[in-house]
Chain A
Amino acid sequence: MQNANHQNESKFIEALKEWDAPEIPASLDQRVFASYSAHVHRAPFWKRFFTASIPVPAPLVAAAALLLLVAGGVAWAALKSSSVQVVAQPAPPINTITKTEIVEVPVVQERIVTRIIYVEKKAPQSLMAQLPSVSQPSEIKLASHVAGDNAYTNVDLSGYQPVEEMKVRIIKGSAANEQ
């Protein structure tokens, strides 16, 4: 039984080995070595930059060349016409007299200074005269006494000055208003 299993296993493995992988194509070796060389032996960036080439379609190149030619022709014609205009007749000599005169110009520098000054102001003499004189309070001696049914008041009129003009005002009244 064990021998039979072993035989089956051997046959199974033999059957598996029947399947071989195909030969490696030669193109693979070439591709791998080319990629390796391109990676390892790669030129420095500045060298690749200056030797780089870009494929451009031929019609595009032809169009660009034509455009360049036309632009060159137009530029040439413009340059030629402008060169004719530039050649002008020499201008007549002009005698120019140059006179130098020195003129002094006064420079006024104004400066505004603001100051506030407080001044004691005296009233004029005429106005002082018009003002009423302030006299010393008169010492009017008042005394009163009662004698019998009558009351008397003694008045000292020394220094009294009567008014120059008297205006009398009479107020009408009745007994009812009297007190």
Chain B
Amino acid sequence: MTDGNLLQTAVHGDDAAFRVLYERHRDAVFRFAYRMLQSVELAEEITHDCFLSLIKKPARFDASRASLKTYLCAAARNQAIKHLQREMSHEELNPDLPISDHWNPLKQVIGAELSTVVRNAIAVLPPLQREAVILFEYEDLSLAEIALIVNADVGTVKARLHRGREKLRQLLAPYVKQGAQTASPSTGP
């Protein structure tokens, strides 16, 4: 059964259809929201609101335009960006700004696990680069799907993804070369 059919059934009160729909897309929405905001509570809130909004206004979802996963991720993305905008100024949202040293959390996590290092490195990225990297690397979405989610053209997404990956590569370079689970940076030659 397609997502569109399940949604129509769920809207008319079929609990089972809603459960299938929810369990099909819950993880992707939650993971994306969590990686964007790095907060379980906020990710939970956003996931809840996205599914409730889908049931309240099902007509907003156009199956001919995008998949339900793309639609839900776009809804989650909008909420996450709104939250980030409340927290930081417009300049900090700009993806082209260089990462300053005092923002670099890597200096504080020397010796920590690689997962923590990666998490902190992604947190350092500007939100527009961060969302591109997360959707591409973790959710395995295509550039076209990401473009739909972030409401930008494919070229822009490609550029943001490239810059984000380059920054991550720089930040993770000392740890990636070592290839170990512990994130002690290599001392170099």
Using a CB–CB cutoff of 8 Å, the interface residues on chain A facing chain B are: 8, 11-22, 24-25, 27-29, 31-33, 35-37, 39-41
Q: Would A21 and B34 be within 8 Å (CB), given that A32-B22, A32-B47, A41-B13 are in contact? A: yes
Contact A39 B176 (CB under 8 A): no
Closest A residue by C-beta to B114: A18
A16: chain B residues within 8 A (beta carbon): 118, 137-138, 168, 172
Let me know if B34 and A22 touch, CB within 8 A: yes
Is B56 within 8 A of A27, CB to CB? no
Beyond contacts A12-B165, A21-B138, A27-B44: 19 other A-B pairs, Cβ-Cβ < 8 A, are: A11-B177, A12-B168, A15-B114, A16-B172, A18-B114, A18-B118, A20-B115, A21-B30, A21-B34, A22-B34, A22-B40, A25-B44, A28-B30, A29-B26, A32-B26, A33-B15, A36-B51, A37-B15, A39-B52
Say whether B130 faces chain A, with CB atoms less than 8 Å apart. no
Chain A interface mostly:
helix
Interface assignment of B11: CB less than 8 Å from any CB of chain A? yes
Chain A residues within 8 Å of B165, by CB: 12
Contact A15 B44 (CB under 8 A): no
B73 beta carbon closer than 8 Å to chain A: no
B122 CB-CB contact with A under 8 Å: yes
Min CB distance, A33 to chain B, in Å?
8
| Tier of interface size on chain B | 35 or more
Chain B residues, Cβ within 8 Å of A17: 137
Question: Could you say which residues of chain B place their CB within 8 Å of the CB of A20?
Answer: 115
> Chain B interface mostly helix, strand, loop or mixed?
helix
CB pair B176–A36 under 8 Å, yes or no, is: no
Contact A15 B172 (CB under 8 A): yes
Cβ of B48 within 8 Å of any chain A Cβ, yes or no, is yes
- Residues from chain A with a CB closer than 8 A to the CB of B26 are 24, 28-29, 32
Q: Evaluate contact between A35 and B30: CB separation under 8 angstroms.
A: no
B27 on the A face (CB < 8 A): yes
Given the interface pairs A24-B26, A32-B47, A36-B52, the reply to whether A12 lies near B15 with Cβ below 8 Å is no
CA distance A22 to B55 in the complex (A): 26
> Is B175 positioned at the interface, with any CB of A under 8 Å from its CB?
yes
